[in-house]
């Protein structure tokens, strides 16, 4: 790996971050806060939230088995994705390489930041070739985007190929594991100590059922986390989110039960969908959704919309022609979808 100073944008490396009122009195116990121009009324909302979210990070650290110093928290994973560009990629000069198809935000954030986005198609089993990804890189490639289990395909990327990318590339490798809670595979965050160039993304939006609260995580070396913290808005996670997520994480029994329910429902949906006449192919999934190739994706999508049932039409996505992406819902939601599809003519 190149050293971090070579990889980071020079202005970011040199950046002196905003120092908040609370940063400047360190650790001392205090009871009277007249430093931040807050109102003394309307508690508890009158106070700025903890900019580094220490209590929440401690809870996440225990759950994910990642030290606090290796955790960044963002306003959704989307913030972490955007920060990778803002920290490492010089607009109009640097580029990134990504698998195709994959999650759309990597490309949107590249476009916003005026960074060239290079797509390397997966093979017909939706697998990556490390050699092809590395061949697409040049001296201006700052990051490679991987997503496993991948969206919209649902499959895990081959660990061996991902490791070849991690070892063979001298820049940042992002592995988005938004769906890893639904998989038995060993998550890449467990290998952080092995790879100084690895950034793993996780989210509260999927297995933890908290998409509305907007909390995403990045796990990486303390130095990379330091750069991300320097660039983020000082109070990027509001108090309500910090507090509510802590409560959700405290109820591990319920979280586990939801996960078990979703995985059982996924199995029954696989069997039921497979037996439908409209089903041409069901792809293997390690996520909470199933990609299915059907006889006429656009017509079936529109038919379902008319029934008040929304799935994701991936018909026009590279390698996904004819495919619908179906999220696993509650028993009754899944049953409604199946009975509508059984009636489709
Ligand atoms: C849903 C999803 C996310 C979640 O993004 P948030 O901003 O945390 O809600 C991240 N990555 C992938 C691949 C996803 O499918």
What's the pLDDT band for 338 if we cut at 50, 70, 90?
very high
Q: Is 128 in the pocket of ligand 1 (CB under 6 A)?
A: no
Residue 255, judged by CB atoms within 10 A of its CB (0-12, 13-18, 19+), counts as middle
Give pLDDT, residue 92: 98
More confident residue, 20 or 229: 229
244-278 pLDDT tens trace: 999 999 999 999 999 999 999 999 999 999 999 99
Give pLDDT, residue 20: 83
Q: How far apart are CA 139 and CA 235, in angstroms?
A: 35
Q: Is 78 in the pocket of ligand 1 (CB under 6 A)?
A: yes
Pocket test for ligand 1, best of 83, 147, 179, 203 (most atoms within 8 A of CB): 203
Give pLDDT, residue 329: 98
Q: Is 151 in the pocket of ligand 1 (CB under 6 A)?
A: yes
CA of 264 to the centre of ligand 1 (A): 22
Question: Whose C-alpha lies nearest to ligand 1, atom 15?
Answer: 151
Classify 290 as helix, strand or coil: strand
Q: Is 216 in the pocket of ligand 1 (CB under 6 A)?
A: yes
3-state secondary structure 80-115: HHHHHHHHHCCCCCCEEEEEECCCCHHHHHHHHCCC
CA dihedral 227, 73, 178, 189 (to 10 degrees): 60
Question: Does residue 317 have a pLDDT over 80?
Answer: yes
CB-based burial, 157-174: b 16+ in 10 Å, e otherwise:
beeebbbbbbeebebbbb
What's the pLDDT band for 298 if we cut at 50, 70, 90?
very high
Give pLDDT, residue 326: 98
Give pLDDT, residue 120: 98
Give pLDDT, residue 21: 80
Question: Whose C-alpha lies nearest to ligand 1, atom 3?
Answer: 178
**Predicted structure pTM score:** 0.97
Return phi, psi of residue 300, to 5°: -70, -40
CA of 200 to the centre of ligand 1 (A): 12
Q: Mean pLDDT over all residues of the chain?
A: 97
Give pLDDT, residue 142: 98
Q: Is 203 in the pocket of ligand 1 (CB under 6 A)?
A: yes
Residues whose CB is less than 8 angstroms from the CB of residue 42 and which lie 6 or more positions away in sequence, other chains included: none
Q: Is 77 in the pocket of ligand 1 (CB under 6 A)?
A: yes
Q: Is 234 in the pocket of ligand 1 (CB under 6 A)?
A: no
Give pLDDT, residue 19: 85
101-128 pLDDT tens trace: 999 999 999 999 999 999 999 999 999 9
Contact 88, 172 (CB under 8 A): yes
151-182 pLDDT tens trace: 999 999 999 999 999 999 999 999 999 999 99
CA dihedral 246, 252, 254, 260 (to 10 degrees): 130
Average pLDDT over residues 208-233: 98
Q: Is 180 in the pocket of ligand 1 (CB under 6 A)?
A: no
Contact 252, 107 (CB under 8 A): no
Pocket test for ligand 1, best of 79, 103, 188 (most atoms within 8 A of CB): 103
Quick one: what percent of the chain has pLDDT higher than 90? 95
Q: Is 141 in the pocket of ligand 1 (CB under 6 A)?
A: no
Distance spanning both ends of the chain, measured CA to CA: 56
What's the pLDDT band for 24 if we cut at 50, 70, 90?
confident
Average pLDDT over residues 41-50: 96
Average pLDDT over residues 85-112: 98
Q: Is 285 in the pocket of ligand 1 (CB under 6 A)?
A: no
CA of 203 to the centre of ligand 1 (A): 6
Strand partners, 200: 175, 219
Q: Is 152 in the pocket of ligand 1 (CB under 6 A)?
A: no
CA of 213 to the centre of ligand 1 (A): 13
Question: Whose C-alpha lies nearest to ligand 1, atom 5?
Answer: 77
Give pLDDT, residue 128: 97
Q: Which of 341, 282, 256 is nearest to 306 (CA)?
A: 341
CA of 95 to the centre of ligand 1 (A): 22
């Amino acid at each position: 790996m190149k050293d971090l100073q070579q990889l980071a944008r020079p202005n970011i490396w040199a950046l002196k971050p905003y120092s908040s009122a609370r940063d400047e009195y360190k650790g001392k116990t205090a009871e009277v806060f007249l430093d931040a121009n807050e109102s003394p009324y309307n508690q508890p909302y009158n106070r700025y939230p903890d900019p580094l979210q220490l209590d929440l990070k401690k809870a996440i650290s225990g759950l994910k088995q990642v030290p606090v110093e290796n955790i960044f928290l963002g306003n959704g994973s989307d913030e972490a994705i955007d920060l990778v560009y803002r920290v490492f990629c010089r607009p109009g000069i640097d580029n990134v390489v990504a698998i195709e198809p994959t999650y759309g935000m990597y490309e949107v954030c590249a476009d916003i930041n005026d960074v060239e986005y290079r797509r390397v198609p997966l093979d017909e089993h939706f697998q990556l070739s490390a050699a092809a990804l590395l061949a697409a890189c040049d001296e201006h490639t700052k990051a490679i985007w991987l997503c496993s289990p991948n969206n919209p395909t649902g499959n895990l990327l081959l660990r061996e190929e991902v490791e070849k990318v991690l070892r063979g590339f001298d820049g940042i490798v992002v592995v988005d594991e938004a769906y890893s809670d639904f998989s038995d595979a060993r998550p890449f965050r467990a290998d952080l100590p092995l790879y100084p160039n690895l950034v793993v993304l996780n989210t509260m939006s999927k297995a933890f059922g908290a998409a509305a609260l907007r909390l995403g995580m990045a796990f990486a070396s303390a130095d990379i986390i330091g750069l991300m913290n320097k660039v983020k808005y000082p109070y990027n996670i509001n108090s309500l989110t910090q507090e509510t997520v802590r409560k959700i994480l405290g109820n591990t029994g319920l979280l586990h039960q939801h996960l078990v329910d979703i995985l059982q429902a996924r199995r029954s949906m696989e069997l039921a969908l497979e037996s439908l006449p409209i089903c041409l192919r069901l792809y293997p999934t390690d996520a909470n959704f199933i990609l299915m190739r059907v006889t006429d994706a656009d017509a079936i999508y529109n038919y379902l919309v008319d029934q008040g049932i929304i799935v994701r039409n991936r018909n026009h996505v590279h390698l996904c022609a004819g495919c619908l992406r179906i999220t696993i819902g509650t028993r009754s939601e899944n049953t409604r979808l199946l009975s509508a599809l059984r009636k489709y003519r």
